[in-house]
Structure 1
């Protein structure tokens, strides 16, 4: 077994590999960029080597620098994680040349599966069922479009070198084909340096079911059952579960055996995932094989009781697979939800910012958190905006789903926009509870998932006001303790006033609605309580603050809330969601009164990928004007109406701050 390995990745997966290596007594070496200099994975590793600037192409994607780091530290093997160099055949070949073990499949297997079109041809020869499609070498628009027209719409355009939903587009009609192809090719070129495409018939109600396979270099192969990854946005998985609901033993065995056949057809070694489309009639079709560990591997670990990273290390060290097929059993049910910094209500645009407050649910035998960040860390523009993976397990699907909903309700993040509310709504919507799944799930059930939950504020407004007055009282007590006379009446917090009531008046805003609040402090024996008046409704309140927790008693109803208070922003995290308030001060002014700039602004921090117009051009409503990219995702800025482009302020390749004016646009009168 290795004594030291280098992890050629960052964030959550690097931390995940380090944990298993540590349990096995293996030393670890991390690599990092400028943006990750003080990151969690760097601090967890035994050693760390600097690679370069923050953009991945100048650091994590530099295979030769990674090899140098391994040689410098004496690492005998490199674990690539997922993404970055994990499916890069040239990097694998470089490891082989330098006599460093690549903890993954051999070069030939990566190359065989690295091209989706080549993979289809191999699977066809191995008698693995395929979705109808065009996988040819002629990449002219005319040939690709004819293939799509012949097989009938809808079709799916896919980058042959792709993964993670990049370089993929659904095309629903012949008229949309050219624009969809151009966008897919552009994204593929940016993400993988290769814009070769294939065209497949798009099944309208398929499930995305994948099989976890493992092969050693002694001819042994097993499958560790299946995962259902049907719930996706932008072709990227959102919630995964194992085992797949409604899977019969016969179908599981048939898919598992096909997956092993796929792996053996390319001489596979290590961990791999064979992805299938499962149609409503029970037929299934090979989609692709990922020659690496998958993001969603923890659900397989939960139901199988196996550590897949340990398996990877043992296989790479030349050992036999730890288990035979007949020794592997399914136990219980598991879900994984990906916690992202993104705005689900704004087309899942990635978000950046600082994690001012981060409090995940407590981990246990039922709840696991895989993360690469801590409170205070920054979610930057340079990498994928995933904050963590929340994984839950229980003895059956209903109980596991109940744990998932509870854990999502307990996840507290402040400082960046997250998808937690979206995930909660998704996990609790009736169709998901009933396991009525397919890859179009989110679009089909938008009304249930994207609903705006009513926040009546009957308890939350008084709680926010109570918190503020208690915080002020605590502050006064602390300041009083520092004076020469801490017993002065001017330093007390017991509502003492000379001939008048102790009354606070403040204004709280929630969802752009302002609420005047009056707080009268009362004494009853040796304790204080508050009468809080919101719009003429008075409630009796008591409470105390302990750390980030407010313990309150509102008209006899005792409850708790986690509080995050940053300047004039107050966030209450409760079981029924997060409630955000702003304390309005009389001299704040109207922050929104900025006038009409007559321009179009960047919706996020990112890079200008393409400028499609020039100054002076007349454009039509919804015409694409510029394309931005951030966190591996493209966003097209379109004309809000008919008009004229008067000026353009950024060039292709420029970095752009969120909110920056991109171009001046004059609407047609």
Structure 2
């Protein structure tokens, strides 16, 4: 085994690799960009080396800089994690040429499987069924359009060298093909340095099932069963589980043996994933092979009990696999949820900001318990526009799928994150959704179940308002509704218990509930407190305990109901976490927040997030219709098209291609 490992990645995978390597007695070296100088993965390693600017192309995609760092640190091996250079054959070959072990497959295997088109040709020759489509080298737009017309719409355009949903578009008609093709090519070039695409028939209700394979340099190759990754948004996985619901032993064996055959065909070594798309009737088609460890590998670890990162390191050091196929088995069911800084109610757009509060459910570091967190950020860290907005992965295990689903819903209800928008509440609704509960899965589940997963906003409950009010009182020094024992000789004018000569005390709180003003009133008559909002009047008792700066454990009795919650006060925002359901309220000062209703902001369009302008489709004087693409921004490694909200004429475009813009910046003006 080598003794020094450089980790050429960031985030949760770098933290995970560091923990496993250190457990094996290896010295670990981190690399970091300017944006990651204080990142968690830097702190997790024994030493760290800077490699460039914040954008990936200036740091984590700079193979020569990473190799120089490895040489300077005396590293005998480089672990590429996933993403960035993990499937870059040139980097793998450069490591080999420099005498440094690349913890992954040989460059030849990456080359064979790294191109989706080449991989499909290889599988076609091996007799593995493929989805009808075009996987060739001709990238002429007219030719690709003609191929799409022959296949029949809808079709799927996919980056040949890609993954993670980047460079991928569903095209419903011939009229939309050219624009989608150009967008895919730009995104593919920016993410993978290769703009080649392939075209496939888009299957209407498919499941995404992948097989974990592992091979060593001694000729051994095994499959560690399957994962169902069907639940996706924007062509990116959100929920993964193992084993796949409804999988028969016969089909599992057929898919596993096909995956091993694919790995053997390219003399594969290390961890890899062979991905299939399956139709409801059981037919499955080869999609691609990811020549690296996958984000969702923890669910496989949870059900098999094997540490796949340790396997990677041992196999890279020349050791044989620790088990043979007949030795492998699995127990129970595991589910992984990806916790993202994003807004599900706004097209899952990424959210930028500081993690003011990040409280995780009780968990274990690896696979010895039923709840596990793999994370790459800490409370106080920033989510920047340069990298994927993942906060953490939450993984749970149960004796069966139903228990795992219940544990996931409970754990999601215990997660608290303040400072950025997150998908936590959405994920919990997904766990409780009838279709997911019944394992009625396909890659279109989120769109199909839109009404239940994206319910109409409901007013905050009186319980949530009372909890918020109690926390605001605590922030002002009033911790309880219990009668205060006055200290003899103390100044009565300093008392905070609401005592009045008349025996009546009243305080009004003005709250914003999803933008709507709402008044709640706290009233005390003699020693009895009450809560009122609108026509609702209920007796109230409360008690608070400070658990941190602006953080309170609040217990109330409202009417006949008892409730306990964590309430976090940050500036004007009050975050109430009760019963697994978060509620956001804001303190409202009508004078401070008064708005001139007569002001006219015209037809300006603003940036939904920080990013770079990469394409502008209009100029001043152009007539546009509602829904027309105006410009394209790039942020978090993804493209986001800004469309016209109405018919009109472009008055002015405020930025040029290549400009960086901030969140909320005015992009252009319509009449």
Report the TM-score, using the length of structure 2 for normalisation.
Answer: 0.94
1:533 corresponds to which residue?
A: 532
Q: Does the Cα contact within 8 Å between 2:612 and 2:658 map onto a contact in 1? A: yes
Q: Following the alignment from structure 1 to structure 2, what is the Cα–Cα distance between the partners of residues 90 and 592?
A: 59
With over 3 angstroms needed to count, the CA separation of the structure-2 counterparts of 1:474 and 1:376, relative to structure 1, is: farther
Please say which of residues 635-644 and 268-277 is displaced more in the overlay: 635-644
Q: Is the 8 A contact 2:508 2:520 kept in 1?
A: yes
Whole-angstrom CA distance in 2 between matches of 1:62 and 1:475: 55
> Which stretches of structure 1, 4 residues or longer, exceed 6 Å deviation after superposition?
none
> Which has the higher mean CA deviation after the structures are superposed, 633-642 or 493-502?
493-502
Identify the residue that residue 163 of structure 2 maps to in structure 1.
163
User: Could you list the per-position Cα deviations for residues 583-616 of structure 1 after superposition, in whole angstroms to 9, with x for gaps in the alignment?
Assistant: 1224313258663143111111111010111222
* Alignment of 1:452 onto 2:451: no
- Where does residue 481 of structure 1 map in the other structure? none
Q: Check if 1:493 corresponds to 2:492.
A: no
Alignment of 1:129-140 (within 5 A): 129-140=129-140
* Residue in structure 2 matching 1:411, options 408, 415, 425: 415
Asked if 1:507 corresponds to 2:504, the answer is no
1:104-503 matches, within 5 Å, as 104-364=104-364, 365-452=369-456, 454-455=458-459, 457-473=461-477, 487-499=490-502, 501-503=504-506
> Which structure 2 residues correspond to residues 498-647 of structure 1 after superposition, within 5 A?
498-499=501-502, 501-521=504-524, 530-536=529-535, 537-547=537-547, 548=551, 549-590=553-594, 595-647=600-652
Shift of 1:650: 0.7
- 8 Å contact 1:494–1:523 — kept in the other structure? no
C-alpha contact (below 8 Å) 2:303/2:333 kept by paired residues: yes
Q: Post-superposition shift, 1:633?
A: 1.5
Distance in structure 2 (CA, Å) of the matches to 1:271 and 1:195 = 26
Of 549-558 and 63-72, deviating more is: 549-558
Question: How many residues are paired up?
Answer: 654
**Cα deviation per residue 1:488-527 (whole Å; 9 max; x = unaligned)?**
2222334344455333222122122322222234675xxx
In 1: Cα distance, 2:141 partner to 2:493 partner: 80
Counterpart CA distance in 2 for 1:440 and 1:486 is: 70
Aligned-partner SS, 2:121? helix
Q: Deviations over 1:115-174 (max 9, x none)?
A: 111111111222222112111222112221222222222211111111111111112222
Q: Distance in 2 between matches of 1:132 and 1:47?
A: 49
The offset of 1:465, in angstroms, is 1.3
Give the CA deviation at 1:456: 5.2
User: In terms of mean alpha carbon deviation, does 179-188 or 33-42 score higher?
Assistant: 179-188
1:29-178 aligned at under 5 Å gives the runs: 29-178=29-178
Contact 2:538–2:558, Cα closer than 8 Å, also in 1: no
Q: Is the 8 A contact 2:473 2:479 kept in 1?
A: no
Note the residue ranges of structure 2 that are not aligned, 5 or more in a row.
481-487
Counterpart position of 2:654: 649
CA distance in 1, matches of 2:86, 2:595: 47
Counterpart residue number, 1:480: none
Partners in 2 of 1:591 and 1:69 — Cα distance?
A: 55
Alignment partner, residue 4 of structure 1:
4
Confirm or deny: 8 A CA contact 1:530 1:542 kept in the other structure. no
Distance 1:151 1:592, change over 3 A: farther
Report the CA distance between 1:473 and its aligned residue: 2.0
Alignment-derived partner of residue 21 in structure 1:
21
2:354 and 2:225 map into 1 onto residues whose CA distance is 38
Distance 1:456 1:471 in 2: 21
- CA-to-partner distance for each residue in 1:45-64, whole Å, 9 max, x for gaps? 11011111111111111111
Check whether the contact 1:105–1:291 (CA below 8 A) recurs between aligned residues: yes
- Contact kept, 8 Å, 1:624 with 1:636, in 2: the verdict is yes
Question: CA offset at residue 199 of structure 1?
Answer: 1.1
Q: Deviations over 1:516-562 (max 9, x none)?
A: 222234675xxxx6322222413222212231321223235332211
Cα separation, partners in 2 of 1:566 and 1:298, compared to 1, 3 Å: same
Distance 1:498 1:53, change over 3 A: same
Q: Distance in 2 between matches of 1:193 and 1:613?
A: 27
- Of residues 510-519 and 628-637 in structure 1, the stretch that sits farther from structure 2 once superposed is 510-519
Q: Is the 8 A contact 1:471 1:545 kept in 2?
A: no
Report if aligned partners of 1:603, 1:659 keep a CA contact under 8 Å in 2: yes
Deviates more, 1:209-218 or 1:636-645: 636-645
Q: Is the 8 A contact 1:462 1:534 kept in 2?
A: no
SS at the partner of 1:156? strand
Task: Give the Cα–Cα distance (whole angstroms) in 1 for the partners of residues 54 and 342 of structure 2.
Answer: 20
Q: Distance in 1 between matches of 2:430 and 2:396?
A: 16
Whether contact under 8 Å (1:543, 1:553) holds in the other structure is no
Inter-partner Cα distance in structure 2 for 1:399 and 1:453:
29
Check conservation: 2:542, 2:554, Cα contact below 8 A: no
Structure 1 642/518 Cα, relative in aligned 2: closer, same or farther at 3 Å?
closer
Name the SS of the counterpart of 1:572 in structure 2.
strand
SS of 1:312's equivalent in the other structure is helix
Secondary structure of 1:490's match?
Answer: helix
Deviation at 1:455, TM superposition (A): 4.6
SS at match of 1:459: helix
2:4 & 2:478 partners in 1: Cα distance?
A: 51
RMSD: 1.8
Question: Hey, what's the Cα distance between the residues in 2 that align with 1:597 and 1:659?
Answer: 15
Aligned-partner Cα distance in 1 for 2:644–2:458:
33
Q: Normalising to structure 1: TM-score of the pair?
A: 0.95
Structure 1 346/486 Cα, relative in aligned 2: closer, same or farther at 3 Å? farther
Residues 80 and 86 of structure 2 are in contact (CA less than 8 Å); yes or no, is this contact kept in structure 1? yes
SS at match of 2:254: helix
**In the superposition, relative to structure 1, how do residues 166 and 456 fare at CA in structure 2: closer, same or farther (>3 Å)?**
closer
Name the SS for the 2:28 alignment partner: strand
Partner secondary structure for residue 658 of structure 1: coil
Note the residue ranges of structure 1 that are not aligned, 5 or more in a row.
477-484
Q: Deviations over 1:209-242 (max 9, x none)?
A: 0000000000000000000001111111010100
Secondary structure of 2:652 counterpart: strand
